[in-house]
Amino acid sequence: MSQAMTAAAAAAARVIAVASNSTFTAASSCLLLKTPFALKRGCNALSFNNGRRLSKRLFSCNALFYPLVQIKQEGQPETLDYRVFFEDTSGTKISPWHDVPLHMGDGVFNFIVEIPKESSAKMEVATDELYTPIKQDTKKGKLRYYPYNINWNYGLLPQTWEDPSLANNEVEAAFGDNDPVDVVEIGESQRKIGEILKVKPLAALAMIDEGELDWKIVAISLDDPRASLVNDVDDVEKHFPGTLTAIRDWFRDYKIPDGKPANKFGLGNRAANKDYALKVITETNESWAKLVQRSIPAGGLSLV
């Protein structure tokens, strides 16, 4: 079977699975991979020089293996051709956006790391490419870096989508940014590009970037030593004092060195609680399901 036919079959399977569950419950988010991921730790994702971190360099292993998913690189890091692909156990490419399940049950969600903490290369899922691999973002043909390191693990919630045709009346009627929902993971460990973590949401920040709504879900990995201490926004303030303000300020200001205005935040410029974060996840999961059913135009997005 050709790659195109395989991709089409996978996309069709997702549509059928979603369509069979109109309530968009957890079952609709576990379309291909239905059992929890167990992570195997290994290679460093960043390069080091005499113990010092090189802030712009993001080197990951040639293959990081999971029981259900393996991650493989194509091309060299920090080049325009570099891609991090996800494959199933048969070696078939799958999409980290569409094929990794969102829900793990009991309020736990899968989170895919795009940017490890204490690094600055702006890595992201390529939503317009076949199988949506992780790549380094570009601008005017050049690789993009943040002006300074990000202090948390950053990535996305699979099977979510911020609909650019949908205005949010609670957040200045801003429209979605056409991307999966972003996650800021506040645990102590530096993770790897493509690593899949089980996280619990704690809070939500409603960032408005050039008029577009760009949610930031604050979460913590279940394997973090302090995970049991934090279950809502107030716990973050207690056990990670100053973190929510630091996250807001970081995302507010990171474009200023490039001569752009500061980003804004809705919801009174404050982090909303866990229940609100879960509401955002539910709504964007529903939008994603409509997208893959093609009841909403996909535009240039890849549904494979």
State pLDDT tens for residues 210-237: 999 999 999 999 999 999 999 999 999 9
Assign residue 228 the CATH number of its domain.
Answer: 3.90.80.10
40 pLDDT above the threshold of 80: no
Tokens of 252: 């507010």
State pLDDT tens for residues 161-211: 999 999 999 999 999 999 999 999 999 999 999 999 999 999 999 999 999
- Which domain range does residue 280 map to? 101-293
Residue 148 counted as domain residue: yes
**What does each C-alpha distance from 12 to 5, 229, 255 come to in angstroms?**
10, 42, 39
d(CA 63, CA 247): 31
Residue 147 counted as domain residue: yes
d(CA 194, CA 156): 10
Mean pLDDT in residue range 144-167: 98
150 pLDDT above the threshold of 70: yes
Residue 88 counted as domain residue: no
On whether the pTM is more than 0.85, the answer is no
What confidence score (pLDDT) does residue 68 get? Answer: 81
Residue 269 counted as domain residue: yes
What confidence score (pLDDT) does residue 228 get? Answer: 98
Tokens of 187: 């645990």
Residue 267 counted as domain residue: yes
Q: How much of the chain, in percent, has pLDDT values that exceed 90?
A: 78
d(CA 50, CA 173): 50
Residue 222 counted as domain residue: yes
- Residue 156's pLDDT band (cuts 50, 70, 90): very high
The residues, any chain, with a CB within 8 Å of residue 41's CB and separated by 6 or more, are none
Active site residues: 146
Residue 276 counted as domain residue: yes
Average per-residue pLDDT in the chain? 84
d(CA 64, CA 161): 26
**Number of domains within the chain:** 1
Residue 32 counted as domain residue: no
More confident of the two residues 174 and 41: 174
